[in-house]
Structure 1
Amino acid sequence: MRDPYSVLGVKRNAGQEEIKAAWRSLAKAVHPDQNHDDPLATVRFTEAGRAYDLLRDPEKRSRYDRQQREAEFRRMEQMRQREAERKARTEAPRASGEDAEDMIARIFGVDSRAQQARPQAQPQQQAQAQQQAGAAPAQEARREAEDQPGEDAMPARNAAPGATLISAIIRRIRSGRARIEKAPDLVADITVTVEDVLNRVRPTIETPEGQTIRVPIGAGTTDGQVIRLRDAGHRIENLRRGDAVITVRIAPGRFRPDGFDLKVDLPISIENAVLGCETTIEGPLGPIAVTVPAWSGSDQAIRIEGEGLTRENGERGDLVAEIRLLLWEKPDAKMIDLMRSLREGLYL
């Protein structure tokens, strides 16, 4: 869904009255009954209705604003992290006696010295045993030589030579490759209708290898849900097969998913909105009788329990019929006179 503020054309700090006025103006302009020649009028009207539903509810609006702030914060953090990594790659090596292994350990965040020390532990123990078996004078001579701070004991370099550095990088890459055991996951989206979800239709996707996979759609499925199918992703020789990660998208139409509830427009005329009426609405699985209370406006809705999407426990959400006032196709003289008298204070 696009940014609801952009859809309605209001600022993020807009008040409820401004949002309501923007919705009424937009709904009147894009209503399908006023745009018979526009095939996308229904989509725009539905999008405007979803935007208004989100922004007029303080809790939903607050949650949406918080999610947008968090997403923007994460995006800025990622940009700062990438910039820091770019600077780290381009800056000159530190001139502090750092050799190739130390440099690679700093870049990759792993102590390569400790990794090399483990396989050398056994040869060092053997060398110590041989030294202990030797003559004591030789040991004393060795200690005296070690106690003298000669030139050979000082660091002989300030930075790692290029060949040593390249060799250390190659060893690091090879050791990283050895840990790869699984092929990449197959990431895809599938688009279904509300009727598909209720009827548990199993849509299909095709893998790059030409294999067809059926995606299970059933109880608990909502818009944006991610389904993971084990061992159904990419195939690479000598690697375990990846998973298929499928995101379910419910196509926009007459019904607008809101969690497990379904929202639908209920257009009624002015006289029925004022006086109330009995009407029928087409639900996802068939027609449903609806009672419209007297004096019902476009900001009111009628909740029909148990006609929404199915939850994992088998229970169903509700169908929420949102009232939309419509004028007659042709102007009515009596209605015009009545409205004029009400506005101007005249009584017939």
Structure 2
Amino acid sequence: MRDPYAILGVRRNAGQDEIKAAWRSVAKAVHPDHNQDDPLATQRFAEAGKAYELLRDPVLRSRYDRVRREAELRRMEAMKQKMRGPEPAEEPIDAETAEEAISRIFGVEPQAASTSSKPNPASARAADKGDPPADMRPEAAAEPKREESSRFDPLVVRRSAAPAADLVAAIVRRIRDRVAKTAEKVPDLAVDVNVSIEQIINRARVSVELPDGETAKLSIPSGAIDGQSIRLKEQGYRVTGMARGDVVATLRVNQEGAFRTQGINLVTSLPLDLQDAVLGCEIVIETPNGPVAVTVPAWSGSDKLIRIAGAGLRGADGEAGDLLVELRLMLREKPDDKITDLMRSLRHGLYL
């Protein structure tokens, strides 16, 4: 079965009323009686019915959402393995590599060649005279060699630097592993966040329910508008071996109340009876920003739009939008005989 949310065309956080309304709309559109020329109409109608039965039941819907989240996490894990490829075998760092690393970091020269390869000046002079070298003389064999403490022995330095080389090698491996882990990042998670106009005005801090069951906090920024995206760093999916992804939250401002938004402008409708529309009036209306006086000019019809500057939402730059008042001409609930006679006389050209 396909995604039931996609079949009904609703969001994943849709309420039961929205799901029921979507089901009625889809069922009416794909009903076989209205699509007799479509051989797949019956199949689509049955598919929509199954989707509605699943989403209307809280238990089945919760179970489906959990299974879908687990499948998505498995897909992300498989994608991560495909992106990383086979794990390369870690090459051991031998003593020579460690010495080279410590030499580069601390400026110690590589181990010098054996001192036996360097010519001895005294031996060279003896060779010129035809005498055997000093270290080959008989008395030299009986006399033990004395260490010259005043001379620099590179072998001593090498022995003392060996533990530091191992430490540096461990640090290098740690940095290498960390770079490899942070080089890849989990893709962003996109979610919709439903907010009210009051929350936009008060810059409220709202909760964002994530598909994996966690909850993140989102602070509405100044000048936020419907459809604006806000990025929450490192609060998305977790996948082993990859940097945690971000959450990209899109604000969806509730447009079903008395006021709706157009950017930072507020839009509302003002019903008028025939008398106020013809003669004009002044009405005080309540807005999310407080009461506002609206002056209706005489002879105003339903095509009239009254703009009140500065009575809308506040933008990111501190400037406020406008309040757009759409006039709607309404008749009284009960018929008025005087108005009826007046309209009849105007139609037939009669004067009372």
TM-score by length of 1: 0.47
Which structure's CA Rg is the greater one? 2
